């Protein structure tokens, strides 16, 4: 097991020590570089986790070194330069960005050792069973029930919806109602659900793009041992806030270079089609470019704040701005291209493992971006969060705040 590095402020010595650890990992687990046929990528990823170079800010033994979070970029750059395999983070984004921080904060030592390593290496994909047909924006109104048994096992019945990656997932983070006699926020418990349980049924949801990236999930007599509960019984709402805050940061606060992401795609379209340009479109593109740069720099500041602790409600601002800008940019690109921007090649019922914005046509990006203001918290709810928790404005009247869940109209 790796020894922890110094937790002093980032220094040249600390960076050098980390680079030395990376070189040692490469020598031992990736000796011939990317050209080798003798080393399995999964074996390398496991070795990287065990060396504490997965999440350097995580504790020793859980993929980290207890080092400053900012040093992760040093590790990633060194390994990328060596051609070492990564864990395909886009494919396992829910596990990395949402499940892992929650397990780290609320999981027992046994749960952390069981789940974090295969989660990070990509051996086990995770999904999120939160939203329901009657509890989307108002997640606390969820109706999925979990009943305790005398054998230490909970029985779960209900329905979840808009579940990305449910068709490929091994595990799911799940919130369920365990006490309907108390107000809605207080009767929820947080579980980890085995997606291979025979009571779990996953059905595809066809989207406006023609794909079935999302799913609806039916839970019928699903058995979850109490050892797979995160946090105390009835305190699932507090645990879920950790998940949701990290989700918003992972969606809206991703690290991108200048003119990266959608603004880079739109800018390239502009440069390669001078015959489509007008003065009015030029002014709009400049405004979008400035907005994208502001969002990029704000995201960098948010990540620096995140390095000092758990994410807070500020992540809602980044996610809100990301959704708005993505829809504006994709709409601009379709308008710029005119008739050529309306269609795309693959309008079929496919079951993708991940969303590919950059490798598809403008028409696809325009349609898929409509979901950005829904997934990870609707823009309307995020505005409420920003108003109340960031700006300190008076909250909206809530007549159901102290009413037992079972007495609420549904």
Tell me which residues are annotated as active site.
247
CA angle 143, 99, 350 (to 5 degrees): 80
Q: CA 209, CA 331: separation in Å to the nearest integer?
A: 15
Identify whether the C-beta of residue 145 lies closer than 8 Å to the C-beta of residue 109.
no
Determine which helix (DSSP H) or strand (DSSP E) holds 351, and give its type and residue range.
none
Closest CA to 236 of 113, 318, 144, 116: 144
Residue 166 has phi, psi (to 5 degrees) of -60, -30
Structure tokens at 371: 């979901």
Question: 188 in helix, strand or coil?
Answer: strand
Q: CA 92, CA 75: separation in Å to the nearest integer?
A: 19
Structure tokens at 27: 């020598």
Question: 174 in helix, strand or coil?
Answer: strand
């Amino acid at each position: 097991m790796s020894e922890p590095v110094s937790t002093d402020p980032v220094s040249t010595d600390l960076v050098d020590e980390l680079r030395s650890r990376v070189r040692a990992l490469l020598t031992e687990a990736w000796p011939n570089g990317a050209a080798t046929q003798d080393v399995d990528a999964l074996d390398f990823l496991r070795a990287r986790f065990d060396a504490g170079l997965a999440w350097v800010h995580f504790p020793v033994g859980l993929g980290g070194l207890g080092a400053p979070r900012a040093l992760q970029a040093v590790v990633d750059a060194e390994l990328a330069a060596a051609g070492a395999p990564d864990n395909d983070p886009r494919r396992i984004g829910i596990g990395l960005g949402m499940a892992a921080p929650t397990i780290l904060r609320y999981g027992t030592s046994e749960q952390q050792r069981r789940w974090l390593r295969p989660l990070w290496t990509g051996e086990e994909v995770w999904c999120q069973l939160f939203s329901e047909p009657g509890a989307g924006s108002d997640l606390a109104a969820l109706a999925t029930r979990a009943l305790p048994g005398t054998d230490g096992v909970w029985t779960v019945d209900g329905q979840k919806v808009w579940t990305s990656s449910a068709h490929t997932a091994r595990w799911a983070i799940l919130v369920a109602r365990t006490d309907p006699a108390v107000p809605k926020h207080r009767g929820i418990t947080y579980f980890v659900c085995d997606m291979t349980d025979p009571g779990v049924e996953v059905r595809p949801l066809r989207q406006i793009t023609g794909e079935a990236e999302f799913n609806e999930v039916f839970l019928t007599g699903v058995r979850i041992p109490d050892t797979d509960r995160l946090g105390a019984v009835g305190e699932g709402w507090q645990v879920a806030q950790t998940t949701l805050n990290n989700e918003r940061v992972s969606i809206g606060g991703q690290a991108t270079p200048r003119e990266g992401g959608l603004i880079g795609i739109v800018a390239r379209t502009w440069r390669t089609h001078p015959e489509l340009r007008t003065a009015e479109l030029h002014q709009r593109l400049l405004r979008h470019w400035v907005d994208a740069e502001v969002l990029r720099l704000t995201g960098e500041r948010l990540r620096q704040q995140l390095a000092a602790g758990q994410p807070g409600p500020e992540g809602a601002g980044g996610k809100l701005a990301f959704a708005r800008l993505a829809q504006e940019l994709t709409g601009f690109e379709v308008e710029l291209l005119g008739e050529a921007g309306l269609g795309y090649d693959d309008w079929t019922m496919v079951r993708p493992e991940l969303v590919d914005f950059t490798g598809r046509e403008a028409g696809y990006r325009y349609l898929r971006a409509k979901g950005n203001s829904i997934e990870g918290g609707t823009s309307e709810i995020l505005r409420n969060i920003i108003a109340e928790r960031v700006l300190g404005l008076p909250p909206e009247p809530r007549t159901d705040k102290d009413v037992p869940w079972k007495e609420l109209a549904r």
